[in-house]
Amino acid sequence: MLPNLKLVLLASWAGQVLAGQTPTPLNITAISTRDGYSVLECWQLASIPVDAMSAANYAVGGNTTTATWSRIEPRTYIGQAWAPHVQLSIILNGLIRITSPAPASDNVSAASTPLPDGEGRPETQVAYIMPGTTKSSVLIAADLKALSTIAGHYTEFPSDEPTILVQIPFEGDKAPEHTILHEGACI
């Protein structure tokens, strides 16, 4: 980021604080990795909003690569999956149901022998990603297969309409700076 732009962002944030306004943090549901399992977490990004064009504007992460617009047919069931890249996903239509970690009965990872259910396995969490609010329509997928070696996440597109999403990979598979607020999706 350019030095002058950093000063403008800091001045904007300081102005909000001095005016008694607390900048609204950006919380995004993420699929991450813990102890070899894909897990759902609520992340608070380090980005400070800047008021411009009558909107709060957030810089999300670092550099990105080419975005992909995807159309998934109705009632598509992928099963166990992993993020191909650390990426920001924005759903424009339809519905995604993510279960993480993937159910033990669906575990097909050849990288290691799965632990029996309940023995070191994180609690299963479910997130529904759909158009609407920032918390419901934006997701960071960061559970790369090289890291989630025991179990990935389970993905379903159960809508009666096509699911349309935009996927924007972060350069170098580097997740944006964040704090983990809690396990599970942001609510």
Instruction: Give the residues of the chain that fall short of pLDDT 50.
Output: 1-18, 107-116
Per-residue pLDDT at 183: 94
Surface-to-core class of residue 127, CB atoms within 10 Å of its CB (0-12 exposed, 13-18 middle, 19+ buried): buried
Q: Tell me, what's the pLDDT at 1?
A: 44
**Cβ-based neighbours of 61, under 8 Å, separated by 6 or more:** 45, 88, 170, 174, 175, 176, 177
User: Residue 88: which of 49, 125, 62 has the closest Cα?
Assistant: 62
Q: Does domain 24-183 have CATH number 3.40.50?
A: no
Predicted pLDDT of residue 116: 47
